Structure 1
């Protein structure tokens, strides 16, 4: 049996920052990570001469927690993709092309008005339930809301393609309140949203950020430790792993993804809100695919409605004789990232002459330690379950981007909740 002040389950960014914070506060901690690496759903792979992000990627100076970490560890940021010289979009049943400004003009005032209305629903985006108005649309799916306000077919195609990319899932399954939460951070501005949600990434890679954070952690980080049971009583918490180890602590922080949370036995059981969320599940199940295209193509951005395999594709790097692109789709079950011919066929929706040399990605939904991409809420979950989802369970606290009151689904949200959980525990211990 191992004893410690705090046991931290998971070494993603929420777990890493919590363990680091506890060490700075003078508390002992032990991190139990099921994988053979740290970083969780953030993973950088150096391939094709570039650092390619397979999971969490995008950062922005509007995100206070991640920006502080980048400054702390002297990491650099660059645009997430080459500045698009041309845009391609499928809308109204046909392919369009033009400049990014022409794409914006095609979207028209009505699409931009829908995005701007997010500020009315959520004037304080760092408080997910800080407005009564957000509750009035939480029961609506994106599709139901857009049906109600009556956009044209072409407007719907474009907006649903953008939302499907943001959601990593199908708009029919995601809450309209979730779209407003994302847009509110950019004040509903079309151009700013592209920057905030996907404009910038870490040059050295998210895995390097995790490595530098690990260097500041005094606690042991135990890899290959699959937690199966979390029990608590008035004296503390006992955590059991698949290999028979027992860790005894005064408090625990559990940071596993929602889709994995149900695989852990909690005693006493979790509250009704958490049990309901586990049963319903969050809605992301998309994919991110990297592909090498033959030829040095003009930097481009491509968008399609969620009926297609990919809803967005953009040129990220140019090399002699080839272009590296990143593609996003709302349903990972429709495409194998290693299927070169299938990826090529999907990209030819916008670029009929595209030739894919090779492609790859990581299937986070099939990954037993994630079972989802970035977490997104279904209709009704924000108002019905969010407060209970975030609430501590006695000595057991939750952290991760799904619990974030602000930048949910982003690395920033994971950092926010990890720091908060560590500080809350320290206060209780004192």
Structure 2
């Protein structure tokens, strides 16, 4: 006896998108979510009197899947305040200028590093297997940067920019991560920078998750953690922490790569899936919101991967205060609950900011994620991208972590879900 046609593990963007697509084709769908909310790593909370994105923050019209959904549901996208001053380190000394000036400083290094991205990965929408790509995927981003032999000021500035993107130590980040991001914007690094760090949904990014979930013709059960999956070519039995069991013709796992190996799956997932999950992604940093006393001018600040905070920018400006968003490469290097420690970290650039409050979600400590956004280690893409997308029996996979174009972004979650949902529908209807 089958309880549902398709059981989906996780109600993040990938899970709700897959559920919408499959249920719209007339198939029974059940979504099980361990958290008490929708969204997964898309996590909007009301703090400091604004919509704080404790999880994923930005989207852009060059990200085709998410932008189509924004248009579909009539959601409004906007940007934070433009930077009026920018701080960075050159030879470990603070420099002040404009954001355009900083971009000019890193332009030569960026062009030399990723200017050939579109040639190395001409079709980021497919799984790349070309020789140039395989070679690029063997080294770290740090090795690629070091090979440019930049002067100290350019090197430090370029490293800081990439730490902001990669949210992890550059000697663990695959050079392929930089290639993939830039190839997604046709090899234009400036557009990549804008696409990954400017526009958001001011009413909250979770509005997109809720809109998609509202179109699901099926059930979503929150606070329901899956503990095991027993599957074969005929279907699967899924057990939950509540002690219940559900039989489904198909199961779609949207579990983040970093914890996939922790789920009891029998027969076991392939060795490559297990290895990459156990290795974990290279991204292992933090995201932190900081409310400071105002008034202040909107600013951008870059330091280095060795500082507790590598990148800080102003996201909200009011008369009496401002809200900053900050990132660091190593989540163990700063206690994000310690207002004094955060204030000290900001003194890397300036000592005139009074920290009033801080807010963060500790993603690396979150047992349902153990990761921020996906940044692969050297060789993980070449070794595992195709395999991570490959179904096993009646068990399928969908996640931003295994997307082709914008892995780690909202767009990637939707892309992966659409592809997997199509495959599942075809199998159910064959």
Corresponding residue for residue 8 of structure 1: 8
Q: Secondary structure at the match of 2:251?
A: strand
**Distance in structure 2 (CA, Å) of the matches to 1:158 and 1:117:** 20
Q: Secondary structure at the match of 1:344?
A: helix
Consecutive unaligned residues of structure 2, counting only runs of 5 or more, are none
Corresponding residue for residue 185 of structure 1: 184
Q: Does 1:300 align with 2:299?
A: yes
6-15 or 265-274, which moves further after superposition?
Answer: 265-274
Structure 1 runs, 4 residues or longer, greater than 4 Å off: none
Corresponding residue for residue 272 of structure 1: 271
Q: Secondary structure at the match of 2:196?
A: helix
Corresponding residue for residue 20 of structure 1: 20
Aligned-pair CA distance for 1:148: 2.5
Aligned-pair CA distance for 1:398: 0.5
Consecutive unaligned residues of structure 1, counting only runs of 5 or more, are none
**Distance in structure 2 (CA, Å) of the matches to 1:125 and 1:89:** 32
Q: Secondary structure at the match of 1:426?
A: helix
Corresponding residue for residue 174 of structure 2: 175
Q: Note the alpha carbon deviations across 1:100-143, whole angstroms, 9 max, x for none.
A: 22212322523333232322322222234154311111110111
**Distance in structure 1 (CA, Å) of the matches to 2:161 and 2:77:** 24
Q: Note the alpha carbon deviations across 1:153-194, whole angstroms, 9 max, x for none.
A: 222211111111111111111100111111222334343222
8 Å CA contact 2:115, 2:187 repeated in 1: yes
**TM-score (normalizing by structure 2):** 0.97
**Distance in structure 2 (CA, Å) of the matches to 1:297 and 1:130:** 49
**Distance in structure 1 (CA, Å) of the matches to 2:116 and 2:151:** 18
Aligned-pair CA distance for 1:2: 6.9
**Inter-CA distance 164–155: structure 2 relative to 1 (3 Å threshold):** same
Corresponding residue for residue 40 of structure 1: 40
Q: 1:51-130, aligned counterparts within 5 Å? A: 51-79=51-79, 81-129=80-128
8 Å CA contact 2:290, 2:323 repeated in 1: yes
Corresponding residue for residue 227 of structure 2: 228
8 Å CA contact 2:113, 2:144 repeated in 1: no
8 Å CA contact 2:159, 2:305 repeated in 1: yes
Q: Does 1:50 align with 2:50?
A: yes
**TM-score (normalizing by structure 1):** 0.97
Q: Secondary structure at the match of 1:349?
A: coil
Corresponding residue for residue 324 of structure 2: 325
Aligned-pair CA distance for 1:352: 1.9
Aligned-pair CA distance for 1:204: 1.4
**Distance in structure 2 (CA, Å) of the matches to 1:239 and 1:294:** 50
8 Å CA contact 2:14, 2:417 repeated in 1: yes
403-412 or 158-167, which moves further after superposition?
Answer: 158-167
Corresponding residue for residue 347 of structure 1: 346
Corresponding residue for residue 244 of structure 1: 243
Q: Secondary structure at the match of 2:300?
A: strand
Aligned-pair CA distance for 1:402: 1.1
136-145 or 149-158, which moves further after superposition?
Answer: 149-158
8 Å CA contact 2:185, 2:191 repeated in 1: yes
Q: Note the alpha carbon deviations across 1:26-58, whole angstroms, 9 max, x for none.
A: 110110111111100111112222111000111
**Distance in structure 2 (CA, Å) of the matches to 1:209 and 1:113:** 37
30-39 or 258-267, which moves further after superposition?
Answer: 258-267
**Distance in structure 2 (CA, Å) of the matches to 1:130 and 1:78:** 37
Q: 1:375-394, aligned counterparts within 5 Å? A: 375-394=374-393
Aligned residues: 429
Q: 1:251-266, aligned counterparts within 5 Å? A: 251-266=250-265
8 Å CA contact 1:273, 1:386 repeated in 2: no
